[in-house]
Structure 1
Amino acid sequence: MPKVVDPQARRDEVVDAVFRVVRRAGLEHASLRNVAEEAGLAIGSVRHYFAGHTEMMVFAMRASVERVSARLEAHVAPLLARQGADERAEGVELMLSELLPLDERRRDEATVWLAFTMAARTHPELRPHAEEAYDGMRRLVGRIIGGIARQRPLRGDAGVETERLCALIDGLTVEGVLHPDRMTPELMTLALRRHLETLTEPGP
C-alpha cells in the first residue's frame, strides 16, 4: 500500500531544508536540487509541491514570517493580563525579544530573514513579502508604543518613537547576526531594555 504523505508536512520539510541551506551556504545556493538533497528527497518530489525555485522561495519566506508571528501572538494574552507598569514593561520586552537573535533558533531565523530581505532588493517576486513583513513589524511596534503612551506620557512623538524602536531592533538584529561575539544576547537585551526605559516621562 503506498505511503500517504501529508502535503503540508512535506512542504514544511522542504522549508526547513531551505533554511538549513541558507544558513550554511547562503540564499544563492538554495537551488531546487540542493534543497532536495538537504531534505533527503528526490528533486521530483520537491517539484511536485513547488512549481519552481521562485515559488519555493516565496513559500519559505512566508513560512519564516508566520513562525515568528505565531510566537509573537502567544505573548499577546499574557501581556494584556499583566497589571502593574513593571509587569507590562517586562511583557513588552519579552515580546520584542522574539524579534532579536538571542538564541540559536532566533539567530538562525534572523540569518535566514536577512538573506531573504537582501535578495528582495533585486528579486521583485520577493519584495512584496519582505515589505509586508516589515510593515507588520512596524504595526506591532506602533501598537506597543500606543499601549505605553496610554500608561504614561511619551517623551517624544509616537510616530517617531515607533521608527526609533524599529531601527533599534533592525540594528541589533544585523549586529547580532554579523558580530555575535561582540553583540551578545546580554548586550542586545540590555540595549532594548534601556531604550524602552527612555520612552516615557518619569513617573510621579
Structure 2
Amino acid sequence: MPKIVDAAERRRHLAEAAWRVILRDGLEQASVRNVAREAGLSNGSLRHMFGTQAELLVFAMNQVVERIERRLEALDSAGDPRATAERFLLELLPLDRTRQEENLVWLAFTARALVDPELRECAERSYDALRAGCRRWVTAIAGDRVDVEQEADRLHALLDGLAVHAATRPEVATAEKLRSVLAGHLDTLAGLR
C-alpha cells in the first residue's frame, strides 16, 4: 500500500527546511537542491510540492506570517488597552529563540523582496497588516488625544527598528531592553509619562 503523504504538512516541513538553510547559509543558498537535502527529500519530491524556487520562498515567507498570526489569535484581547496592546506587540518582537529565528528569516526575505516581485507582494501585505495593527492599538490606548496616523507610524517604526536592532546587535538589543523600550513608548501613548 502506498504511503499517504499529508501535503500541507509536507509543505510546512519544506518551509522549515528552507528557514534552516537561510539561517545557516543565507537566503541565496536556499536553492531547491539545498532545501530538499535539508528536508531529507529528493529534488523531485520538493518539485512535486513547489514547481519553482520562487514558489517555495513565497510559501516559506508566508509561513512566518502565519505562525505569528496564530500566536496573536491565541491571545485574549480583553482587558486594559495599554496592557493588552503590550501583550500583543511583544509577540511581534524577537524575545526568544523561535521569534529570533523568525525575525532573521523575515529580514532576509524582506531584503530579497526589494528585488523580487513575488516576495514583495507578501512583504507589502505584512507591512499593511502590521501598520493596521499599530493603528488599532494607538486608537485603543490614546484615542483622540493624539494624531493616530502619526503615532501609528511611530509605533510601526519602533517595532521595525527593534527587530532590526535585535538581529544586528543581539548582545545590545536584549529581550529585556526590547520589552523596556516598547513599554516606555506605550506608557507615553497612554499618558503615563
TM interval, short-chain normalised: over 0.9
C-alpha distance in 1 between matches for 2:84 and 2:112: 33
Match of residue 21 from structure 2: 21
Match of residue 132 from structure 1: 125
Q: TM-score, normalised by structure 2?
A: 0.96
| Aligned residue-pair number | 193
8 A Cα contact 2:90 2:179, kept in partner: yes
Partner letter of residue 9 of structure 2? Answer: A
Match of residue 156 from structure 2: 166
Q: Render the CA deviation track for 1:38-71: whole Å, top value 9, x for unaligned.
A: 0011111000000010111111111111111111
Match of residue 141 from structure 1: 134
Identical-residue share of aligned pairs (%): 46
Match of residue 50 from structure 1: 50
C-alpha distance in 1 between matches for 2:170 and 2:191: 33
Alpha-carbon distance, 1:24 to partner = 1.0
**Gaps (5+ residues) in structure 1?**
none
Alpha-carbon distance, 1:202 to partner = 4.9
Match of residue 191 from structure 1: 181
Partner letter of residue 156 of structure 2? Answer: C
Alpha-carbon distance, 1:167 to partner = 0.4
C-alpha distance in 2 between matches for 1:172 and 1:11: 31
Deviating beyond 4 angstroms after TM superposition, the runs of 4 or more aligned structure 1 residues are: none
Q: Render the CA deviation track for 1:82-136: whole Å, top value 9, x for unaligned.
A: 2xx4xx4222111101111100000000000000000000111211110000100
Partner letter of residue 87 of structure 2? Answer: L
Q: TM-score, normalised by structure 1?
A: 0.91
User: Relative to 1, partners in 2 of residues 1:93 and 1:180: Cα closer, same or farther, differing over 3 Å?
Assistant: same
**Gaps (5+ residues) in structure 2?**
none
Match of residue 113 from structure 1: 106
**1:90 maps onto 2:83 in alignment:** yes
Match of residue 61 from structure 1: 61
Match of residue 4 from structure 1: 4
Provide the alpha-carbon RMSD of the alignment. Answer: 1.4
